[in-house]
Amino acid sequence: MNTLTVEHYFSSIHDKLALYRSDPEDNSCEHCHEFDELVIVEQGHGLHVINGKPLYIQQGDIFYVQRGDSHFYDELGTLKLINILINPVANFVFLQQTESLLQRFSVRDARCYTWLAPDARMQCNSLIDKIFSSQPLRAEQRESLFFQLVNTLLQAQSEVNHNNTRYKLHKLLNHLQENCFEEYDWNDLAKQFHLTPRTAFRHIKAATGMTPENYVKHLRLVSARVKVRETDMTITEIAFLCGFANSSHFSTLYKKVFSITPSEERRRVEICG
């Protein structure tokens, strides 16, 4: 697995912060990194596969990826990301215990949902531009701006309206991601999240570009792809584990989505590895 290094992404190994913007995001290869990163989805939507689990992300979402996490992006649309990189071996001069604040956005915990409305996203973009301005800043200035950014994100997290349809949709999508190998009665599932079936169907289709059934099928395929690449399980075992009736049907769908069969995928990994 590829490891992204501090030396490559930071101007100096002594810098605490660095910025990486992807327009569009094209890192579809699983990787980990020596640094942490705070990610803002600036545009688009897609699947973020984190530690082997697919997670739907869309414009305005915030999440914190830590060293030790492995991930990649499986695009459903055109993702544009803002990545604030945080060097664990360098220290802030004035700020203390920022790690505990950033943990509140951890991608490892599905409860850490944060979404930025357009006005809050503009405010964050302004702060990010100032933090990483080409004009030199004193340490206290840069750290003050970074603390303002984190506070803005924390405020957005605390103001999430749990009765909002967007929040309900997030919880529903999260449930599907965590339980994508199950069979669903969509009417019962919509009621479970206090949505009408029609509203749930419409919002899932608008968010992902897929019907609920096709979205779950895509989640299964993405999960299966990780197992094809990372495990020694047979293709048949993976097919059944990921909810497919037989390996032939699984291979047909896999090639349709990824333009390669599971067996060809595994041979490619073996050659590259």
pLDDT bracket for residue 217 (50, 70, 90): very high
Three-state SS string across the chain, please?
Answer: CEEECHHHHCCCCCCCEEEEEECCCCCCCCEEECCEEEEEEEECEEEEEECCEEEEEECCEEEEECCCCCEEEEECCCCEEEEEEECCCCCCCCCCCHHHHHHHHECCCCCCCCECCHHHHHHHHHHHHHHCCCCCCCHHHHHHHHHHHHHHHHHHHHCCCCCCHHHHHHHHHHHHHHCCCCCCCHHHHHHHCCCCHHHHHHHHHHHHCCCHHHHHHHHHHHHHHHHHHHCCCCHHHHHHHCCCCCHHHHHHHHHHHHCCCHHHHHHHHHHHC
Q: Say what the pLDDT of residue 75 is.
A: 66
The tens digit of pLDDT for each residue in 97-108 reads 899 999 999 998
For the question of whether the overall pTM of this predicted structure is more than 0.75, the answer is yes
Residue 272 pLDDT > 80:
no
Q: Say what the pLDDT of residue 109 is.
A: 84
Residue 162 pLDDT > 80:
no
pLDDT bracket for residue 26 (50, 70, 90): low
Instruction: Give the domains, in start order, of the chain with CATH numbers.
Output: 2-158 (2.60.120.10), 165-272 (1.10.10.60)
Percent of the chain whose predicted confidence (pLDDT) is above 70: 96
Mean pLDDT of 23-38: 82
